[in-house]
Structure 1
Amino acid sequence: MSEPAAANGTATTAPILPPLYRSLEAVSAERHGKLRLRDVGLGFARTASAVPLTAEEFGVAARSLTIVFAAQAPHMPVALTGLTPETNHYVDAGGAWRIGAYVPAYLRRYPFFLLRVAEGSDELALCFDPAAPQVSETAGEPMFTPEGKMAPQLERAFAFTKSVEEAMLRTRNMTTRLAEIGLLKPAVVEFERLGKPIRIDGFYAVDRPALAALPAEQLLELREKNWLEVIYAHLLSLGGLPELAGATPAAAR
């Protein structure tokens, strides 16, 4: 797929928009030929207390982010950036991400997204959020050349968006399988802070006893698919919950 589909500016609209997106339009030279893309930081994620994550990011993300699985099937993973709604401890008032902390690909892909042009179709349309602060008519790099072709900036965005979508599909396959073999279960983390008990629940995590009790053939399957490393990174990242519970929002520092 070298060019975005749905060049007439139409695409199947997602019934429920993904987190952070306010609307989606198929990218079109006819409709968006004069638009530009600019770097505005990550202030747009200031209200994102959980950010979708792909399995391939666990290894590096676990060093600075807590990774859990959604309670609803297919139990897709998210990186927690806050423990209260619309709170992100990783973004400061100027829109800068916490120094040294991993920035999930989901945020780096924004404002782009891929949608199927029709139900059941394998053809995907490159879409974007026209209300995103990265989009401008006067500042930044052009999305299209004067001839109506994708400019280098848009080509890179398209390639990256496609790679993130493919990683999300692989992650969905993984979480579906982990649930099938009984590894993903409701989780509770309890600890004390300033002498007061704190309980965090409402998410799923890999169950350690279930992992230890796996039959040899299923353990081998996880190893061959490189999912064991993903699981261990997730489990280690849970140790960051107490720190996250006591964090001061970056915007307030």
Structure 2
Amino acid sequence: MASAPQNVQLPLFYKALEPLSSEAHANFKVREADSAPFVVDQHAVPVTVEEFPLVQRHMPIVFTLGDEAVPIALMGMNEGVNVFFDENGRLLDGTIYLPAYIRRYPYLLAKLRPEAQELSLCFDPTTETLGAFEDGIPLFADGKPTEIVTNILSFNESFEEAGVRTGNFMNDLKEMGLLMDGEITIQPEGAEQPFVYRGFQMVNEEKLADLRGDQLRKIHKNGMLPLIYAHLFSLSLMRDVFGRQMAQGKMPKPEIALQ
């Protein structure tokens, strides 16, 4: 039996990690989940560049602060608020695109040891969708992974590959100096003070327009430009998310930072 990953800083949603094993989990089955309680109080989730065209139709895409910035989809305008799920973790609108980061849970590819070269398929043992249940889809048969495990592994491998491409995209944005601190002010009708949101980064449209020569050719050739515009177009949805918060009675006091 493989040991649990060591010295792992757990990512968003995950409370623990355990490597999936045909020995330790021979009788485990997976149940179909009809809710995602782990996302109820999360206002933002990471997204990959492949998802930008789909995400930008439903949620604002912004970038976190700091040198290691990552793209995130805003599911609420304030910490602890998610306007797309109810209090039980059920999606309020089935037509909304659900980011792969959410769909990946409770699985994750991780190194079992810091010096390991390969990533192993792990899962969060606190999940209620995996266990030695009487019902559900078996993960192993005759000591071998079933089709569902193969599909889960494939999905996670694709997610990791998309993560690499997303990292390259972010490095290019940084090298070109295209990121700037973002701010949005929303003045609801009848409110005495506006709501001011900061704590995120966005693409500087003036610097984008000023790109010339090699840099401009680069973003045309490598496909960055459509992704950048998907991000910029999505920013108008901040007001839509804000409106959902108001309708759901989840508004904080004015002048509260986004993060």
Q: Which residue of 1 aligns with 2:8?
A: 15
TM-score of the aligned structures, taking structure 2 as reference length: 0.88
Q: Which residue of 2 aligns with 1:211?
A: 208
Equivalent of 2:171, from 176, 184, 196?
Answer: 176
Q: Which residue of 2 aligns with 1:228?
A: 225
With over 3 angstroms needed to count, the CA separation of the structure-2 counterparts of 1:70 and 1:14, relative to structure 1, is: farther
**Bigger Cα displacement from structure 2, 154-163 vs 195-204:** 195-204
Equivalent of 1:140, from 106, 118, 136?
Answer: 136
Structure 2: state its 5+ residue gaps.
Answer: 251-259
Q: Which residue of 1 aligns with 2:119?
A: 124
With over 3 angstroms needed to count, the CA separation of the structure-2 counterparts of 1:84 and 1:14, relative to structure 1, is: farther
Q: Which residue of 1 aligns with 2:64?
A: 70
With over 3 angstroms needed to count, the CA separation of the structure-2 counterparts of 1:220 and 1:14, relative to structure 1, is: farther
CA distance in 2: counterparts of 1:171 and 1:83, whole angstroms: 23
With over 3 angstroms needed to count, the CA separation of the structure-2 counterparts of 1:45 and 1:142, relative to structure 1, is: same
Q: Which residue of 2 aligns with 1:5?
A: none
Give the total of aligned pairs.
245
Q: Structure 1 residue 100 and structure 2 residue 95: aligned?
A: yes
CA offset at residue 252 of structure 1?
A: 7.6
TM-score of the aligned structures, taking structure 1 as reference length: 0.90
CA offset at residue 66 of structure 1?
A: 0.8
Q: Is the 8 A contact 2:19 2:123 kept in 1?
A: yes
CA distance in 2: counterparts of 1:136 and 1:27, whole angstroms: 11
CA offset at residue 223 of structure 1?
A: 1.5
Q: Which residue of 2 aligns with 1:238?
A: 235
Q: Structure 1 residue 186 and structure 2 residue 201: aligned?
A: no
Equivalent of 1:89, from 83, 102, 108?
Answer: 83
CA distance in 1: counterparts of 2:145 and 2:67, whole angstroms: 37
Alignment root-mean-square deviation, CA: 2.0
Q: Which residue of 1 aligns with 2:146?
A: 151
CA distance in 1: counterparts of 2:157 and 2:230, whole angstroms: 25
CA distance in 1: counterparts of 2:97 and 2:108, whole angstroms: 21
With over 3 angstroms needed to count, the CA separation of the structure-2 counterparts of 1:121 and 1:250, relative to structure 1, is: farther
**Bigger Cα displacement from structure 2, 216-225 vs 228-237:** 216-225
With over 3 angstroms needed to count, the CA separation of the structure-2 counterparts of 1:244 and 1:140, relative to structure 1, is: same
With over 3 angstroms needed to count, the CA separation of the structure-2 counterparts of 1:252 and 1:189, relative to structure 1, is: closer
1:178 aligns to what SS in structure 2? helix
Q: Which amino acid aligns with 2:213?
A: A
With over 3 angstroms needed to count, the CA separation of the structure-2 counterparts of 1:57 and 1:209, relative to structure 1, is: same
2:108 aligns to what SS in structure 1? strand
CA offset at residue 164 of structure 1?
A: 0.5
CA distance in 2: counterparts of 1:140 and 1:84, whole angstroms: 37
Identity level (%): 33
Equivalent of 2:40, from 19, 42, 46?
Answer: 46
